[in-house]
Structure 1
Amino acid sequence: MSRPAAREPRRLTRWWRRRSLRTRLTVIAATAIAVSVFVAFQVASELLGWELQDTAENQLRADSRVLATTAERAGLARVQLPPYPGAGRLVRVILPDGSTRTPAGQPALPPVSEHAGRVAQGASADLMESNDSDDDGYLIYTLRAGDGAVQVAHVADDSPINQFGFGMLLIGLLCVVGGALVGRTVARTGLAPIDRLTAAAVRVAHTRELDADIPDEGGGEIRRLIQSINDMLAALRDSRRAQRLLAEDAAHELKTPLTSLRLNVELLIRLDQRGTLDSALPAESRTRLLNDLGAQVAELSTLVAELTDLARGDISDESTELLDLADVVVAAATRARSRMPDIEVALDVTSVWVSGRPAALERAVLNLIDNAGKWSPADQPVQVRLSAEGTSAVLEVDDAGPGIDAADVPRVFDRFYRADSARALPGSGLGLSIVQRVVDAHGGRATVARSARGGALLRVDLPAAAPPAPIDRLTTGDDTAVR
Structure 2
Amino acid sequence: MSPTVPPPPLNPPRVPRRNRLTTWYRARSLRSRLAFLTAAAVAVAIALSALACWFIVERKQYDLIKQDLASAPPLPPAPAALTKLICAKTPQEALAKVQSAQIVSSDPPRFDSQVVTPDLSTVCLRSTSSKAIELLPSDRTILALDAGDSRTRTGSYTDGTPAMVKVAWYFDRETREKIVVLNALPTKPVEESLRQLALLLGGVALGGVILAGLAGRLVARSALKPVDRLSDAVEHIARTEEVGTTIPVHGEDEIARLSTSFNAMSTALANSRERQTRLIADAGHELRTPLTSLRTNVDLLIRSDDTGRPLPPATRTKLLGNMKAQMQELTVLIGDLLQLSRPDSPKPVRTLAVVAVHEIAERAVERAELRGPGLVFETATAPWYVHADAAALERAVINLLDNAVKYSPPGGTIEVRLDRGVLTVRDHGPGIPPDELPYVFDRFWRSPSSRQLPGSGLGLSIVAQSVREAGGEVSLGPAPDGGPGTLATVRLPGGPAPE
On the 8 A contact 1:60/1:154 being kept in 2, the answer is: yes
Q: 1:53 aligns with which of 62, 68, 72?
A: 62
Contact 1:446–1:459 (CA<8 Å) still a contact in 2? yes
Question: Deviations along 1:213-256, whole A, 9 cap, x unmatched?
Answer: 43444664444444443333333333333333322222221111
The whole-number CA distance in structure 1 between the counterparts of 2:55 and 2:497 is 73
Give the whole-Å Cα distance in 2 for the aligned partners of 1:7 and 1:175. Answer: 31
1:150 to 176, 181, 187: 181
Out of 109, 115, 122, the position equivalent to 1:100 is 122
Q: CA RMSD in A?
A: 4.1
Tell me how far apart the structure 1 counterparts of residues 17 and 343 of structure 2 sit (CA, whole Å): 48
Quote the Cα distance in structure 2 between the aligned partners of 1:238 and 1:222.
24
The whole-number CA distance in structure 2 between the counterparts of 1:463 and 1:436 is 12
TM-score normalised by the chain length of structure 1: 0.78
Instruction: Confirm or deny: 8 A CA contact 1:372 1:398 kept in the other structure.
Output: yes
* Contact 1:355/1:465 (<8 A) preserved: yes
In the alignment, does 2:113 pair up with 1:113? no
Superposed displacement of residue 266, structure 1: 1.7
Corresponding residue number in structure 1 for 2:446: 418
Matches of 1:241 and 1:448, distance apart in 2? 28
Alignment deviations for residues 172-207 of structure 1 (CA, whole Å, 9 cap, x no partner):
111111110111122223323432343234334333
Q: Of residues 183, 207, 214 in structure 2, which corresponds to 1:181?
A: 214
The alignment status of 1:25 with 2:25, answered yes or no, reads no
* SS at structure 1 position matched to 2:71: helix
Q: Please say if 1:305 is aligned against 2:335.
A: yes
Which amino acid in structure 2 is aligned with residue 41 of structure 1?
A
One-letter identity of the residue aligned with 1:63: A
1:79-228 → structure 2 map (5 Å cutoff): 90-96=112-118, 99-103=121-125, 106=131, 109-113=134-138, 116-118=141-143, 122=146, 125-130=149-154, 139-146=164-171, 147-154=178-185, 156-157=187-188, 158-210=191-243, 213-217=246-250, 220-228=253-261
Q: What is the total number of aligned residue pairs between the two structures?
A: 457
How far apart in 2 are the matches of 1:183 and 1:288? 84
Give the AA of the match of 1:162.
R
Structure 2 residue 456 is matched with structure 1 residue 428: yes
Tell me the distance in 1 between the aligned counterparts of 2:243 and 2:119: 103
Corresponding residue for residue 474 of structure 1:
none
| Identity across the alignment (%) | 34
| Structure 1 residue 124: Cα displacement | 6.7
Shift of 1:342: 7.7
Q: Is the 8 A contact 1:439 1:446 kept in 2?
A: no
Counterpart code for 1:143: A
User: Equivalents in 1 of 2:354, 2:78: separation in Å?
Assistant: 104
Instruction: Please tell me the residue identity of whatever aligns with 1:329.
Output: A
SS of 2:476's equivalent? strand
1:50 Cα deviation after fit = 0.8
Structure 1 residue matching 2:418: 3-state secondary structure:
strand
Correspondence for 2:288: 255
- Once residues 311 and 42 of structure 1 are traced to their aligned partners in structure 2, the CA distance between those partners, rounded to angstroms, is 70
* Structure 2 letter corresponding to 1:244: T
Residue 302 of structure 2 is aligned to residue 269 of structure 1: yes
Tell me whether 303-312 or 47-56 shows the greater mean CA deviation: 303-312
Q: Is the aligned partner of 1:460 residue 2:484?
A: no
* 8 Å Cα contact 2:427-2:487 kept in structure 1: no
CA 1:5/1:237 → structure 2, altered by over 3 Å: closer, same or farther?
same
State the 1:275 CA deviation.
4.5
Contact 1:64 1:151 in 2 (8 A): no
Q: Is the 8 A contact 1:27 1:180 kept in 2?
A: yes
CA–CA separation in structure 2 for the residues paired with 1:54 and 1:405: 100
Q: 1:426 to 1:23 in 2, by over 3 A?
A: same
Q: Which residue of 1 aligns with 2:174?
A: none
- Report the Cα distance in structure 2 between the residues aligned to 1:445 and 1:93, rounded to whole angstroms: 111
Give 2:312's aligned residue: 281
Unaligned runs of 5+ in 2: 1-12, 89-93, 172-177
**Cα displacement (A) at 1:289:** 1.9
Q: Any conservation in 2 of the 1:398–1:451 contact (CA below 8 Å)?
A: no
Letter in 1 for 2:143: R
Of 347, 351, 358, the match for 1:326: 358
Give secondary structure in 2 for the equivalent of 1:113. Answer: helix
> For each residue in 1:367-405, what CA deviation from the matched residue of structure 2 results, as whole angstroms up to 9, or x when unmatched?
1122222234675564321112xxxx2111123444445
For residue 424 of structure 1, give the secondary structure of its aligned residue in structure 2: coil
1:449 is displaced (CA, Å) by: 2.0
Note the alpha carbon deviations across 1:427-462, whole angstroms, 9 max, x for none.
Answer: 111101222333455352412223779663332242
Kept in 1, the 8 Å contact 2:237–2:243? The answer is yes
Range that drifts further, 439-448 or 141-150: 439-448
For 1:443 and 1:70, the matched residues in 2 are separated by 114
Indicate how the Cα distance of structure 1 residues 417 and 113 shifts in structure 2: closer, same or farther if over 3 A, else same.
closer
Equivalent residue letter for 1:46: F
Tell me, yes or no, if the aligned pair for 2:147 and 2:170 is still in contact at 8 Å: no
1:293 to partner: Cα distance: 1.2
- TM normalised by structure 2 equals 0.76
User: 1:8, 1:360 → 2: CA distance?
Assistant: 62
C-alpha separation in 2, matches of 1:377 and 1:271: 40
Q: Which runs of 5+ in 1 are unaligned?
A: 471-483
Letter in 2 for 1:94: V
For 2:10, the equivalent position in structure 1 comes to: none
